[in-house]
Copies of this chain bind each other. A is one copy, B any other.
Amino acid sequence: METLNVQLAERTYPIHIGQGLLERADLMTFALRQRRVAVVTNDVVAPLYLRRFTDSLDAAGITSVKIILPDGEGNKNWQTLNRIFDELLTQHCERSTALVALGGGVTGDMAGFAAACYQRGMPFIQVPTTLLAQVDSSVGGKTAINHPRGKNMIGAFYQPSLVLADTDTLKTLPDRELRSGLAEIVKYGLIRDLPFLEWLEAHLERLLRREPDALEYAIYRSCSNKAEIVGADERETGERALLNLGHTFAHAIETGAGYGVWLHGEAVSAGCLMAAELSCRMGLMSADDAQRIEALFSRAGTPVLGPKELPPERYLDLMRNDKKVENGKIRLVLLKKPGDAFVCDYAPPSEIAQAIASRTGGAFPAVPEAPDSR
């Protein structure tokens, strides 16, 4: 097990990464004010891991209320959020009861927002079970639900007391979800960690083969990058915005295509390549660098083009509601080279549209063949 800390003064919290952590409910007890928790999970994760986790809680003398939600980004909305509140109130959960999110990014985002709002805030613990959640969404305190007009538009900054990332859960992860997680991992290399990007170029196939050592290293390194950024800029007044490389495009894809049609990491992959394309068009980055980035996403098997149904004008309309917009200006994360990103508020809309157009044409993301397991 590896451990690192997100440094936020009196709200500093540990991230544990390793195998068999679902059985380690004892690691949670320091964060509990009661011997009772509420576990929010979904109908895909519950049959696989809920029993294993609650048995471990039982063994530690902790009882649990179970709240099982429908899976999928399309359910990350008010209606599903209200089901959490209904259940918490029906079961007389208190504001000192801890809420545990057991699942992927959708479960974590929604449970985290519920924890932020229920009785104005209850303790919160993340137990991410997808690669994307383990490297990104479970760390850093961004919680949210979607609004029909924009992804993650309604939410809160609300930090967990603990993140418990059990890499064993990745064994049952569908291939498409694994690849989606890889796209977010590549992003860390692109924005600020060239040595990690080079490591990924050398070892990507080991990740696709799900070698435990490689996965644990990639998760640890990703979380280290995120923890550093979040510790320095919790509420995204500066450097934290870099974590959104590709995300302004990606959110437009996810909202425009319909929530859940594209996985988040798939949209981030296409979005990072749109940002790279725009960076080249604006003379900020070389075409060779852009090709190098495309090659890596291609090997990860995530989309290199946006969906053909979505015209550039629709992106621009959706992007005007992006959270980084200020005084009407779209602010994008662009690249000078791999490992060196910055926030740019002067990209001309016409250039943005052309970059999108030249990176459009992808169908519903096709799941590529599994790599040979040499």
Q: Which residues of A contact B (CB under 8 A)?
A: 34, 78, 82, 85-86, 89-90, 92, 94-96, 116-121, 142, 144, 147, 149-150, 153-157, 235, 320-321, 323, 325-328
Contact of A321 among B82, B92, B120, B325 (CB under 8 A): B92
Are the C-beta atoms of A154 and B96 separated by less than 8 Å? no
Taking CB as reference atom, which chain B residue is nearest A113?
Answer: B117
Are the C-beta atoms of B157 and A120 separated by less than 8 Å? yes
Taking CB as reference atom, which chain B residue is nearest A119?
Answer: B323
Distance (whole angstroms) from the CB of A336 to the closest CB of chain B:
26
Are the C-beta atoms of A92 and B320 separated by less than 8 Å? yes
Q: Is the interface of A mostly helix, strand, loop or mixed?
A: mixed
Are the C-beta atoms of B78 and A154 separated by less than 8 Å? no
The 8 closest A-B pairs by CB, nearest first: A89-B149, A119-B323, A120-B155, A117-B154, A94-B325, A92-B320, A95-B323, A120-B157
By a CB distance below 8 angstroms, the chain B residues around A85 are 147, 153-154
Are the C-beta atoms of A149 and B95 separated by less than 8 Å? no
Per the bound structure, the CA–CA distance linking A116 and B116 in Å amounts to 11
Per the bound structure, the CA–CA distance linking A58 and B82 in Å amounts to 39
Are the C-beta atoms of A78 and B89 separated by less than 8 Å? no
Given contacts A121-B157, A142-B120, A157-B120, contact A82 B89 (CB under 8 A): no
Are the C-beta atoms of B154 and A118 separated by less than 8 Å? yes
Are the C-beta atoms of B323 and A153 separated by less than 8 Å? no
Distance (whole angstroms) from the CB of A329 to the closest CB of chain B:
10
Are the C-beta atoms of A327 and B94 separated by less than 8 Å? yes
